[in-house]
Amino acid sequence: AVSSNYTISYIDGNLTVTTATLTITADDQSKTYGSANPALTASYAGFVNGDTVANLATAPTLNTTATTTSPVGTYPITASGAVDLNYAITYVPGILTVVSSSNVNLASLSINSGLLNPVFSPNTLVYNVNVGNDIHTETITVSSEDPLAKITINGIIVVNGGSLTPVSLVTGINTMMIKVTSPDGSVTKTYTLNIIKESSDVATLSNLSISNGVLEPVFESDVKNYNTVVKYDVASITVTPIVTDLNAVVTVNGVPVLNATASTPIILNTGENIIKTIVTAEDGITKETYTITVYKAVGPDKVVATNVLSPNGDGKNDFWEIKDILLYPNNMVTVYDRAGRIVYSKKSYSNDWGGIYNGSPLNNDTYYYLIDLGDALPKIKGFITIIRD
């Protein structure tokens, strides 16, 4: 400064640059219940001279008390820790809002036997699975896209990613209703799984017994024909079948019979009686027939031996025939000569003696027989004449 009127002197002053005010506001956020927290961000008010957050000596950190499992509600978002000499920093908190999930989609659906038809898709609601008759149980495994959704199978709670086992199967359609409910219970979705078990084609018996007599041969499931002999005074007989597959049905001589239950009495005639036990498999198509031929003996008074044996090869009287002797399988036949010596003896005689003794033909003569039918029945006596010429 210049003036003729003044003597000018100077005193220095100070320019004070104060900090600018910077307000850091945590941005409000929201997320679905059960999901991870979103990235937390902030807004800035008060930067000058083109500054940005990148110019801060230390950027702020953002935190919230909410976690992945926090229930529906609001949670604070706080900013802190920012440092810069040029700014006086203040903070405004934000809010993280946790809202209900409406995702009720399954993420996966599988079973241990069979294949889903169609292939699984979260948007496909109905599935069919065909399994064989030998599959008696299934294990169903499910998971949901929302890990906190509630899953039930036919009303039974299943943990996400877990299994329901064992699921017992019946023949035909087994329907599994898989219900997915949102965590807050406001939304549901139902998937239908139809497990179709084939009908059995097993039409065999595991056992077959009769009330009188003994089956010959001994029962075996794959043997279909049997014989038995009963005494002359047996008026009727019952048959008790036991099926291999409990879903099969049985008839005995056309009359339905419950499994492991005796049939109604079957009246026996003298001689041959045919009893047919028919097993029909669960599929209604496959059938097996077990046949029992029951020989009812005639009364002992009807057992008559021929009294002439002419073993000359002409086809007549070549063998000694005792009528209906076969109906007494426990018989014992003995033939004596005039001197009382035994010339022939056989247990269970079957009309096959041709007058041979020790490998040689017996002489023409009269011989005497004793027939013991067994079962303490009266013995039968008589004579037989051998004529070879």
Rg of the chain's alpha carbons, rounded to an integer? 51
Give the confidence band of 184 by pLDDT, cuts at 50, 70, 90: confident
The answer, yes or no, to whether residue 4 has pLDDT greater than 90, is no
Bridge pairing between strands 356-357 and 360-361: antiparallel
The answer, yes or no, to whether residue 389 has pLDDT greater than 80, is no
The string of pLDDT tens digits covering residues 324-361 is: 898 888 899 999 999 999 999 999 999 999 999 999 99
101-113 mean pLDDT: 94
At 243 the pLDDT is 98
At 323 the pLDDT is 92
What's the chain's average pLDDT? Answer: 95
The answer, yes or no, to whether residue 102 has pLDDT greater than 90, is no
State the Cα–Cα distance between residues 182 and 146, nearest whole angstrom: 8
Q: Which domains does the chain have, with CATH numbers?
A: 20-99 (2.60.40), 106-197 (2.60.40), 205-296 (2.60.40), 300-386 (2.60.40)
Return the closest-CA partner of residue 127 out of 139, 117, 141, 138.
117
At 283 the pLDDT is 93
The string of pLDDT tens digits covering residues 162-178 is: 999 899 999 999 999 99
Give the confidence band of 148 by pLDDT, cuts at 50, 70, 90: confident
268-277 mean pLDDT: 96
The answer, yes or no, to whether residue 123 has pLDDT greater than 90, is yes
206-221 mean pLDDT: 97
141-150 mean pLDDT: 92
79-87 mean pLDDT: 97
The answer, yes or no, to whether residue 51 has pLDDT greater than 90, is yes
At 376 the pLDDT is 84
Tell me the pTM. Answer: 0.56
State the Cα–Cα distance between residues 217 and 146, nearest whole angstrom: 66
Helix and strand totals (H; E) in the chain: 0, 31
Q: How far apart are the first and last CA of the chain?
A: 184
The answer, yes or no, to whether residue 285 has pLDDT greater than 80, is yes
Distance of CA 151 to the CA centre of its chain: 24
Look at 69 and 80; give whichever has higher pLDDT.
80
At 301 the pLDDT is 86
